[in-house]
Amino acid sequence: MFETLPGFRDFPPEACSRRNHLFRVFRTVARAFDFKEYDAPVLEPLDLYVEKSGAEIVGQLFHFEDKGNRQVALRPEMTPTLARMVAASANSLPKPIKWFNVGEHFRYERPQKGRGRSFYQFNADLLGESTTAADAELLALLVAIFETLGLGVQDFKIRLSDRNTWIFLLEELGVSEEIRPAVLNAIDKSERRKPEQTIESLEQTMPGKGEFLWDKIQEIKKIDSLDALIGRLKSGNQKADKIIQDWQNITDLLKAHGAYAYITIDLSIVRGLAYYTGFVYEAFEASGKGRALAGGGRYDHLLKKLSGNVDMPACGFAIGDMTLSDCLESKGLLPKYVMTPDLYLIAGLNEQKHGISLVSQARKGGFSTAYSLKSSGFGKQFKDAGKSGARYALILGSEEVEKQNVKIKDLRNATETTVSQKSLLAKLEEFDAEGGIQPA
RNA sequence: GCGAUAGUAGCUCAGUUGGUUAGAGCACCGGCUUGUGGUGCCGGGGGUCGCGGGUUCGAAUCCCGUCUUUCGCCCCA
């Protein structure tokens, strides 16, 4: 017997419909926000990822040489692909560009809770707009998706941070642009590390100042309100004023979107990647435990880096299907999807073919219809109809055929109605609209 | 890549100090049932006990290796 590869999942019908439920919500809500769906190959040139993330990334990719001696990789994320697509026609695309994708991604990592080697992501990106309105639009979309899935304020929170704030405050502490990435990286990892390890990293980056920096960083990480933040930034300085202005804008906009209740100001979020430039955020289950449900931020210089000539501000986020499914499951928000037909034909032995033509008619009318593929008695067919979960049974015996009728039985309350075969579809639609069959 | 954990039917699990042909419940298929359904009763199919090697007269059971699962470390775009 063959098994799925480690970190990969099969999706038999029930799992598949749960997954599709997520996808349906992603698409519906994204369209409500006027985002356009796009798609792209899952296989890309390996260099696309090396260029963006550095050579270390190769160890985490599914990659190989194809028959044309090209180094290729299964996509581990969507952003480089998106950047390439947008850069290719940047001048002709109406701005702002609001695109989303639902797709499979691959990372060669150790499978763990909420993390596999194949997973699905919802990616939404907004390009060509540098104001905080774009960041707020994306955060509002993220919140709307979670709300539509049934999650509320008691279920999840979004930790919002800003790299510009960090850059400004680190500058004040004497952190130069050169060593800034290393310091931000250490801050990002400090969430998952012992303090001594972080101090050691900082000490290596800024000899003699590791302890000092860590003390200051901890102070900054504790900031959890707009007032505290403004107090720390102190207005008067032009740069500080701009940052304060951005925070005030995004706060006001998120309040207008009805999304602010989910937001926690939390500067401990910086995200590991060097390319983030402004607001960054991660969504977590309300308790804060577990992996991030979603994450994103602004990446104003990435297009330029990847394309070489197109410079365009951009921001975006991604939601992973595994952590999200786990979260929904634990809260009972993944109802058991049962795929059932609307109708089940029950026909006598001599009426089977006649019945199939009725089935065909019903199917063309948009009703999902099942019937027994082999000859069996009425009793057996009723049993199968019951097990199928169909709402109505269409009963066709010699009496009905003789009178050109068909009997419709509501399998939930056992009431029956006899209608002419000609009016079957109309009657079914009527029932459909009423939401049930009426007792005779 | 490192550490721990587990692996018996599709699923959840029994399986005695190593001892005939490895069991149960659920699920699946059929019969009772050729004009009224999910219940009931009866029956059936399905396992090289993760895989390979070793110890033994004899291994699901003991030993070694390996693969896979789950959890943690690393990493987390």
The protein residue nearest B76 (Cα–C1') is A272
A386: Cβ under 7 Å from strand B?
Answer: yes
A103: Cβ under 7 Å from strand B?
Answer: no
Cis ω for the linkage preceding A96 (within 30 of 0)? yes
Burial group, residue A151, by CB count within 10 angstroms (0-12, 13-18, 19+): buried
Can you give the distance from the CA of residue A106 to the C1' of nucleotide B69 in angstroms?
20
Can you give the distance from the CA of residue A387 to the C1' of nucleotide B77 in angstroms?
46
pLDDT at residue A205 in the model: 87
Residues 274-313/A with CB within 7 Å of nucleic chain B are 291, 295
C-alpha–C-alpha distance, residues A263 and A201, integer Å: 30
Residue carrying structure tokens 């550095």: A54
Residues 6-35/A with CB within 7 Å of nucleic chain B are 6-7
What's at A184, amino acid-wise?
L
pLDDT at residue A251 in the model: 98
- Per-residue DSSP letter, A317: E
pLDDT at residue A436 in the model: 59
Q: A238-257 vs A226-233: helix axis angle to the nearest 10?
A: 170
pLDDT at residue A438 in the model: 43
Please give the nucleotide, over all strands, whose C1' is closest to the CA of residue A59.
Answer: B75
The mean pLDDT of chain A is 91
What are the tens digits of pLDDT across the range A104-139? 999 999 888 889 999 999 999 999 999 999 999 999
A110: Cβ under 7 Å from strand B?
Answer: yes
Burial group, residue A418, by CB count within 10 angstroms (0-12, 13-18, 19+): middle
A200: Cβ under 7 Å from strand B?
Answer: no
Buried b or exposed e, range A247-275, using 16+ CB within 10 angstroms: beebbebbeeeebbebbebbbbbbbebbb
For residues A27 and A124, the answer to whether their CB atoms sit within 8 Å is: no
What are the tens digits of pLDDT across the range A65-98? 999 999 999 999 999 999 999 999 999 999 999 9
A376: Cβ under 7 Å from strand B?
Answer: yes
Please give the nucleotide, over all strands, whose C1' is closest to the CA of residue A382.
Answer: B37
pLDDT at residue A423 in the model: 94
A330: Cβ under 7 Å from strand B?
Answer: no
- Per-residue DSSP letter, A41: -
Please give the nucleotide, over all strands, whose C1' is closest to the CA of residue A410.
Answer: B37
Q: What angle do CA A35, A40, A46 make, to 5 degrees?
A: 130
C-alpha–C-alpha distance, residues A419 and A358, integer Å: 13
C-alpha–C-alpha distance, residues A270 and A280, integer Å: 7
Please give the nucleotide, over all strands, whose C1' is closest to the CA of residue A297.
Answer: B77
Q: How far is CA A31 from CA A81, A144, A272, A284, A312, in A?
A: 21, 12, 30, 24, 23
Q: Collect all residues with Cβ–Cβ distance below 8 Å to A190 and sequence separation of at least 6.
A: A198, A217, A268
C-alpha–C-alpha distance, residues A299 and A316, integer Å: 8
pLDDT, tens digit only, all 440 positions of chain A: 677 888 998 888 888 888 999 999 999 999 999 999 999 999 999 999 988 888 888 889 999 999 999 999 999 999 999 999 999 999 999 999 999 999 999 999 988 888 999 999 999 999 999 999 999 999 999 999 999 999 999 999 999 999 999 999 999 999 998 889 889 988 988 888 888 888 888 988 888 888 899 999 999 999 999 999 999 998 778 999 999 999 999 999 999 999 999 999 999 998 877 789 999 999 999 988 888 999 999 999 999 988 888 999 999 999 999 999 989 988 888 877 667 899 999 999 889 999 999 999 999 999 999 999 888 889 999 999 999 989 999 999 999 999 999 999 999 888 899 999 999 999 999 988 876 554 33
pLDDT at residue A440 in the model: 36
Residues 35-94/A with CB within 7 Å of nucleic chain B are 49, 53, 57, 60-61, 76-77, 79
Question: What 3-state DSSP class applies to A61?
Answer: coil
Please give the nucleotide, over all strands, whose C1' is closest to the CA of residue A295.
Answer: B77
pLDDT at residue A1 in the model: 62
**Which bases of strand B sit closer than 7 A to a protein CB?**
1-2, 28-29, 31-38, 48, 67-77
Can you give the distance from the CA of residue A4 to the C1' of nucleotide B18 in angstroms?
34
Can you give the distance from the CA of residue A326 to the C1' of nucleotide B9 in angstroms?
28
ipTM: 0.87
Can you give the distance from the CA of residue A112 to the C1' of nucleotide B4 in angstroms?
14
Residue carrying structure tokens 């509501």: A410
The protein residue nearest B31 (Cα–C1') is A380
Please give the nucleotide, over all strands, whose C1' is closest to the CA of residue A396.
Answer: B35
